[in-house]
Structure 1
Amino acid sequence: MYDRGNGASNPSGTTVELLAAAGESAQALMAESLEARGSSLLHQSILKVLADLGPHARRDLAARVGAPPAEASRVLDDLQSQGLVQALVVNAGGRQEVMALTAAGTAARATALDHVSGVQDVLLASLTKGERAQLHYLLRRVCASAARSGGAHPASGAR
């Protein structure tokens, strides 16, 4: 945990470590919040991709979220059994099953975003509204730089 009085003599040398620690904390809190509701980060990643980018074939969706195809397929089956996604058969260049978000999936995604806001409030409790806005702006710039360098995908739809 970061403590202003105990920072390194070269704070810029620890910025990446602080970003990594903050990311790990955020991910752990989000995973805990989702698990309490019977969901996971992979469930939400799949719903996010379908909400943001539209229908995807199973294999393409697995690649997009960076999950092994078998694991992504298991989560898709779970989401389908909950009525959050549906399989559509598309005959374009051959028969292919495409997964799409349902209205219930859209609602579940909105609920998840509310929970993410709660996690954000916990993590950023010590910051003023202005500091939160500034942090958001700076992190979007950092993510864009990382994406340009090939290090990560840009944070689309970040709140």
Structure 2
Amino acid sequence: MTGHHLAVGAVLRRGKDILLISDPPDWALPGGSVEPGEPLLTKVTQETGFTSVLPERLLWVARYPAAGVEYEMLGFEVTGVGPHDGSGSWVPLPEAVDRLGRMWFAPIRDPAVAYLTGRARVATLWTWTDLNEAPVTHPHVAPA
């Protein structure tokens, strides 16, 4: 493996709703790749339309290999600050879990769904050695 790449995803709540971003054919949490030197939550701010976002807590770390690169995705619960420009869709929690559960990409899908359904604790480490295999989690996460 050569290289290391960082990405971030965020859970934003409004009451019992979760903010999702359309990523055809899927729905995703706001976020994306973090460029070297870029503030960690810049992509979240850009995709949500808030002036800024404040990290509340680390929800998960997902580590996985792809195309010879080691990736690490950090999942945060965040609070939006300032005016919201209407980006994304506020979706009731059960519907958000359903939409995210149909996502093709396991390193986003699995930690997000497990956290939102209460099967994973905050700061859970998810590690894939092969994306075609089940991940190892610390602490253990019960299957769906």
TM-score clears 0.5: no
Higher strand share: 2
**Greater RCO between the two (CA within 8 Å, min separation 6)?**
2
Structure with the higher helix share, 1 or 2 = 1
- What TM-score do you get using the length of structure 1 for normalisation? 0.26
Q: Choose 1 or 2 for highest CA Rg.
A: 1
Normalising to structure 2: TM-score of the pair?
0.28
